[in-house]
Amino acid sequence: MASEAKEDVRPCDPGTSESGRMQNSIKEGDFVIFKKENILKAIQIRKNRTMFLEKMKFKLDGAIGHPYGTMFEVCNMKLVKVERKILNTEDATDKGIDNRDLHDRNLENQKLSRDEIVEMKKEGLRGQEIVDQLVENSATFKIKTEFSQEKYIKKKKKKHVSVYTILRPCTRLISDMYTNKGPARILNLRIDSLGQILSQANVRANSRVIVMENTLGLVLGAVLERLSGLGCVVSVYSGTDVHGSRPAVEVFNFTKEQLAILHHYPLHELDTVNTDIADTNPQSINTDTVTIEKKSTDIAMATASDVAMENDSDKTGIESGKDKTNENEIIKDNSKGDTTEKNEAIVAIKNTDTEQGVTKETKEKATNGDNKSKRFRYEKEEHSEKKAEWRNKVEETRKILKAGDFDSLIVASKFHPTPIVMDLIEYVAPSRPIVVFSQYKEPLMDCFSKLRSRGGVLNLRLTETWLREHQVLPGRTHPLINMSATGGYLLTATMVMRD
């Protein structure tokens, strides 16, 4: 224990020591993950853009061009690269044997006052220097045990040293990000359950997968990552989740080609997949079904009250930089054009959903004053174009879905899964797996029974995974004091031919 590897962080000139290959370096427009201990945040890199993170304000320009995995410290509102050095330091400081002489007198023990620390920060002192000062001014540090000293430094570092590692987003990090921030928004889907979903559904390149999820795009993104642009994904989305609002999918930095395999299909049109389109006017179908869908959504919204329901902007995690961005894990560039385009797209889709929607929108806008009506007329034209485009895409997806023979079905929905599963398994080929995730066991038990009585399903299993993390330190190895008590439940099965 005399020599312990310690991570030392030293500043160095930004822009030098560029060792990463081009494709490994951080580019403008990339989504990146800022990581410091268990704080993770996805941010889109833009030049001259002001960011807020942990009460700090800084610009992202300094990160551009550096390889992924580089550590940065916030210094004078800028990101400055810091060098990681692994030092085997002999612990020369005095240390105590036990805590018999330590007393709980926080205010007396630390000679530096809060104001003095704030002042030091204002003067531009680096986090590490502040920690050194705190150690020096602590009356009790020297009589603390070695372990206690280490803990003390770790705690102070966490508070005062703002060193972030910028990492390339991947399923693991994005899952960690949502989990650390509050897993309710991703239906308490823990990483081990997500891992089970991907393997039990046999997701691999060239698979054809149906995904119905309400995990902000986490499951969908994970599937797309495993396909890497090969195969086909039909994402069934519910009325409240227009296909533009899958914030997690954006964070993966998929290329256009990789996203070309992704098709969207509205949940409320599942009943018409097998309807001959030539015979029916799709508009009329829409108006009918959407009302039902809307109702069911309302019910879901009203009842699923322990699932944190947030307003749209919260849900998508997209906010303009000026707002309290700290509350969101994803920070996306909200250049004007982009936002309007997105909003328009969403409005357009809403309107395509239902004629009712159009009139509703119209009324709302009309009440806002006459000067807006002109703009609205223009928007309406835009909408009808987008509407037609979206309609065509849905019809394309309808054909893909209708063709059936999918290789797997994944449902991780906020809705009761039974109706969704019973409908979608019709498109899955025999000898293929299906996986249903729920944060509750009961709906899966119901689904289990319904599938069993339907027949044509083998290997039905209801499972849960248990996950425990351990602290492994010399002489101090034990399970972590806190652990996640639930990561959700899975229903897995294999489809076979029915008699």
Q: Give, as ranges, the residues between 296 and 315 that touch other proteins (CB under 8 A).
A: 300, 302-307
CB closer to other proteins out of 24 and 113: 24
Tokens of 424: 């979608």
Q: Which two tokens stand for residue 392?
A: 């065509």
Nearest residue (CB) to other proteins, 199 versus 384: 199
Cβ atoms 434, 201 nearer than 8 A: yes
Among 65, 426, 441, 484, binds other proteins (CB under 8 A): 441
CA-based nearest residue to 127, from 153, 100, 149: 153
Task: Give the footprint of other proteins on residues 447-466 (CB under 8 A).
Answer: 448-449, 458-466
Instruction: Please say whether the beta carbons of 201 and 209 come within 8 A.
Output: yes
Could you say which residues in the range 379-408 bind other proteins, by CB under 8 A?
A: 407
Shortest distance in whole angstroms from residue 83 CB to other proteins? 10
Cα separation of 101 and 142, whole Å?
A: 11
CB of 268 to other proteins, least distance (A): 19
What 3-state DSSP class applies to 380?
A: helix
DSSP SS3 for 343: helix
CA–CA separation, 213 vs 413, rounded Å? 5
Q: Taking the complex as a whole, how short is the minimal distance between the CB of residue 138 and other proteins, in angstroms?
A: 26
Q: Give the closest residue to 247 by CA, choosing from 326, 185, 168.
A: 185
Selected from 10, 47, 57, 84, the binder of other proteins by CB under 8 A is: 84
Task: Evaluate whether 463 touches 396 at the Cβ level (below 8 Å).
Answer: no
How far is residue 151's CA from residue 450's CA, in Å, rounded to a whole number? 53
Q: Which is nearer to other proteins, 122 or 478 (CB)?
A: 478
181 vs 432 by CB, closer to other proteins: 432
The smaller minimum CB distance to other proteins, of residues 93 and 303, is found at: 303
394 is written with which tokens? 């849905």
The angle, 0 to 180 degrees and rounded to 10, between the axes of the packed helices 336-353 and 355-367 is 130
Contact predicate 8/131, CB 8 Å: no
Question: Which position among 44, 70, 128, 133 is part of the footprint of other proteins (CB under 8 A)?
Answer: 70
Of 454, 463, 459, 450, residue with least CA distance to 493? 459
Q: Which is nearer to other proteins, 254 or 390 (CB)?
A: 254
Smallest gap, in angstroms, from Cβ of residue 372 to other proteins? 38
Closest approach, Cβ 140 to other proteins, in A, equals 27
Write down the H helix ranges in 307-370.
Answer: 312-316, 336-353, 355-367
- How do beta strands 31-36 and 262-266 pair? unpaired
Other C-beta atoms lying within 10 Å of the C-beta of residue 171: 21
Whether the Cβ atoms of residue 161 and residue 9 lie closer than 8 Å to each other:
yes
Nearer to other proteins, 323 or 442 (CB): 442
d(CA 66, CA 81): 9
Which residue do the tokens 């293929």 mark? 432
Return the residues of window 224-263 that contact other proteins according to CB under 8 A. Answer: 225-228, 230
In contact, 9 and 72? CB cutoff 8 Å: no
* C-beta closer to other proteins: residue 378 or 466: 466
Among 244, 266, 433, 488, binds other proteins (CB under 8 A): 433
467 contributes a contact to other proteins by CB under 8 A: yes
Q: List binders of other proteins among 200-219 (CB under 8 A).
A: 200, 202, 204-206
CA distances from 162 to 31, 166, 317 (A): 20, 12, 23
Q: Is 429 in the site for other proteins (CB under 8 A)?
A: yes
Nearest to other proteins of 162, 200 (CB atom) = 200
| Binders in 322-381 for other proteins, by CB under 8 A | none
Smallest separation, CB 176 to other proteins (Å): 10
Match 């299909």 to its residue by tokens: 265
Cα 267 from Cα 238, distance rounded (Å): 5
Each residue 118-157 as x (binds other proteins by CB under 8 A) or -, in order, gives: ----------------------------------------
423: Cβ contacts below 8 Å, ≥ 6 apart: 270, 271
Residue 35 Cβ, how far from other proteins at the closest point, in Å?
9
Tell me: does residue 64 bind other proteins (CB under 8 A): no
Q: Does 420 bind other proteins (CB under 8 A)?
A: no
- Least separation in angstroms between residue 337's CB and other proteins is 32
**165/339 with CB nearer other proteins:** 165
Interface residue with other proteins, options 86, 97, 107, 278 (CB under 8 A): 86
Nearer to other proteins, 357 or 443 (CB): 443
CB of 473 to other proteins, least distance (A): 8
Q: Which CB sits closer to other proteins, 21 or 100? A: 21
Interacting stretch for other proteins, rule CB under 8 A, among 123-131, 152-160, 198-206, 314-322?
A: 198-206
Q: Which stretch binds other proteins (CB under 8 A): 124-132, 364-372, 394-402, 446-454?
A: 446-454
What DSSP element (H or E) covers 166?
A: strand 163-167
